[in-house]
């Protein structure tokens, strides 16, 4: 009788450990896009904080901005987020072109300012800016996001970019 209780306690303990491991490993797809953003192309939709995805935007301005940047041979992934006249453009540079990042950033900035002179651009190839922009983009895809929260996140990304300069 003593042995049965001992085996029961041992098997109960093993069962509880397995249950805890399985529960801990089963996340509900939280942050999957942002985790993959570092290693593979995410190709997120361009977003406007106020109007959504090119909603009432000036003839697809943010789509044109994304297309302009994506046409660069040295860039393989671009995210564009717009708030009024300020536009965050974050991109990833192809691996062998990393030595020319300053030159690429200068070229991208000049092209954007030439084609879209009415807007202020925050251009960055930094992964942190890219990742935060992806998070903001995911936040904007949710329909019930308060505009103040989205604008606050946008300003945080702006401040982060200023710190990196």
pLDDT-above-90 percentage for the chain: 29
Give the angle 42-47-48 at the CA atoms, nearest 5°. 165
The residues, any chain, with a CB within 8 Å of residue 60's CB and separated by 6 or more, are: 54
- pLDDT, residue 46, reads 76
Residue 47 domain flag: yes
Instruction: Note whether residue 23 is domain-resident.
Output: no
**How many other CB atoms sit within 10 Å of the CB of residue 54?**
19
- Whole-model pTM: value is 0.70
Residue 141, pLDDT > 60, answer yes
Tokens 């300020």 belong to which residue?
Answer: 86
**Residue 9, in any domain of the structure:** no
Asked if residue 22 belongs to a domain, the reply is no
pLDDT at 44: 73
pLDDT tens, 79-129? 999 988 899 999 999 888 888 889 999 999 999 999 999 999 999 989 999
Kindly report the backbone phi and psi dihedral angles of residue 127, in degrees, each rounded to the nearest multiple of 5, phi listed first. Answer: -65, -35
Range(s) of the domain holding residue 88: 32-164
> Within a domain: residue 65?
yes
Q: What CATH number has the domain bearing residue 50?
A: 3.30.300
Residue 43 located in a structural domain = yes
Distance CA 89, CA 133 (A): 9
């Amino acid at each position: 009788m003593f042995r049965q209780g001992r085996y029961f306690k041992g098997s109960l303990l093993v069962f509880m450990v397995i249950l805890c491991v399985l529960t801990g490993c089963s996340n509900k797809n939280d942050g999957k896009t942002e985790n993959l953003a570092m290693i593979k192309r995410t190709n997120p939709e361009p977003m406007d904080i106020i109007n959504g995805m090119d909603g009432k935007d000036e003839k697809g301005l943010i789509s044109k901005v994304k297309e302009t940047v994506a046409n660069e041979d040295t860039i393989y992934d671009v995210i564009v987020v717009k708030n009024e006249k300020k536009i965050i453009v974050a991109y990833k540079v192809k691996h062998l072109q990393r030595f020319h990042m300053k030159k690429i950033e200068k070229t991208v900035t000049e092209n954007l300012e030439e084609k879209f002179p009415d807007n202020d651009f925050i251009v960055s190839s930094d992964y942190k800016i890219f990742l935060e922009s992806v998070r903001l983009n995911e936040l904007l895809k949710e329909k019930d996001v308060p505009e103040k929260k989205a604008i606050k996140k946008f300003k945080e990304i702006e401040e982060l970019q200023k710190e990196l300069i």
